[in-house]
Amino acid sequence: MKEQDVLDALRGVIHPEMNRDLVELQMIKDVTTHDGTATITLALPFKNVPVKDDLVGAIRERLMELDTIAAVDVELVEMSQPERAAFMMAAEGGPKPAQSVNQIDRVVAVLSGKGGVGKSSVAALLAVALNREGRQVGVLDADITGPSQPKMFGLHRPPPMSPQGILPAETPGGIKLMSINLLLPNEDEAVIWRGPLISGAIKQFWNDVFWGRLDYLVVDLPPGTSDASLTVMQSIPLTGIVLVTSPQDLAGMVVRKAARMAQQMKAPILGLVENMSYTTCPECGARIEIFGPSQVAYTATQLGVPLLGQIPLDPELSRHCDTGTVDSYHSDAFEPIAERLVALMSEMKTPPASSGQ
């Protein structure tokens, strides 16, 4: 029997929770036949999903109905992070209207273990650096309960609408941006939502916003390992994650937790950035380690990820963020970090993140 015949037979195996066949859901990764034995590679979103045994049993039962199959071996593998994101989208009914026009080449998420380490400012600096190099860049503010991207970029009006749906706002420098703060009556309004509502908003920003053609989409994640971060890692095909920490060992300990989450979700970690590493005395030019000696080299070694660079504590950055002019801020310390990230992402053979493709 040919492998295609086995694959066609497997189209009759329906996922019990999704009412769609395993081939359509792209869960069948490989099919081989030899001497009457069919070997099937079944990809699961997670290895220990509750329906695992049911799926394996259904595959065996279906193939054993074929006269030419005497035995069936089912090998289980875990989906990659982009594969899992596509699977989760299929579970929710397939592509949305915006996804037919969105073409997003790479998605990079910025994550910290704890708040207050400057994760959002690093995300903004990355978007600005990529934009200055002539790339088409978007920012998805997934920090639903603590959104800060609109204020840093000086955006306060609701995003424009189109006949097809929501269009992202656009910064003076041409960066596209979507944040819950753009949809609130005023920017000080509290978002008092439980996990499912937060997850729903993030999915809507990915699925229903007309991003158009982007070279990079930067996702500003909330700190820690909450529902929001889990939703992004489950539902959005990530090229990679940038971890942000500060010099204290406490911050390093917590960012290691965030890194473990990313590793468990099979989301590739591009590297580690240390923010607020030092400041420079305006009088003598001496380098002052305000938060003590850096622990970032130790943290990067423990995680087995590259140290992308260290960023100083700069009052000018704070001023630009407060006045909504972060896209006009220049950082000599951050430019090499952005260049290294571009090089790392260009080496990764990640499929396009546009879920309409």
Task: Supply the pLDDT for residue 95.
Answer: 63
CATH, range 89-347: 3.40.50.300
Residue 90: CB partners within 8 Å, gap ≥ 6?
18, 20, 24, 25, 26
Range with the largest mean pLDDT of 1-10, 37-46, 225-234: 37-46
Give the pLDDT mean for 43-49: 88
Which of these, 341, 356, 333, 349, lies nearest to 94 by C-alpha position? 356
Percent of the chain having pLDDT more than 70?
Answer: 96
Q: Dihedral, CA atoms, 318, 319, 324, 327, nearest 10 degrees? A: -80
Q: State the Cα–Cα distance between residues 205 and 221, nearest whole angstrom.
A: 13
Mind listing the pLDDT tens digit for each residue in 65-99?
998 889 999 999 999 888 888 888 777 766 667 77
Q: What per-residue confidence (pLDDT) applies to 62?
A: 93
Angstrom distance (rounded) from CA 89 to CA 85: 6
Sort 45 into a burial class: Cβ within 10 Å, 0-12 / 13-18 / 19+.
Answer: middle
φ, ψ (nearest 5 deg) of residue 356: -90, -5
pLDDT tens figures, 226-235: 888 989 998 8
Q: Are 212 and 101 in contact (CB under 8 A)?
A: yes
pLDDT of residue 356: 42
Mean pLDDT of 321-345: 94
DSSP state of 14: B
83 φψ region: left (φ > 0), alpha (ψ -120 to 50), beta (else): alpha
pLDDT for residue 8 is more than 80: yes
Name the superfamily (CATH) of residues 3-79.
Fe-S cluster assembly (FSCA) (3.30.300.130)
More confident site: 264 or 353: 264
CA 84 to chain centre: 12
pLDDT tens profile 91-125: 776 666 777 789 999 999 999 988 889 999 999 99
CA distances from 274 to 252, 264, 297, 335, 347 (A): 9, 23, 9, 14, 23
Quick one: average pLDDT of 154-171? 87
**For residue 349, is pLDDT > 80?**
no
* pTM, to two decimals: 0.83
In this prediction, residues 242-251 reach a mean pLDDT of 89
Mean pLDDT, the chain, whole residue set? 89
State the pLDDT at residue 17: 84
Domains 3-79 and 89-347 agree in fold = no
Q: Is 52 in a helix, a strand, or coil?
A: helix
Domain spans of the chain, in order of start: 3-79, 89-347
Name 14's Cβ contacts closer than 8 Å, sequence gap at least 6: 20, 21, 22, 58
Comparing 224 with 200, the larger pLDDT belongs to: 200
Per-residue pLDDT at 355 exceeds 60:
no
What pLDDT is attached to residue 357? 38
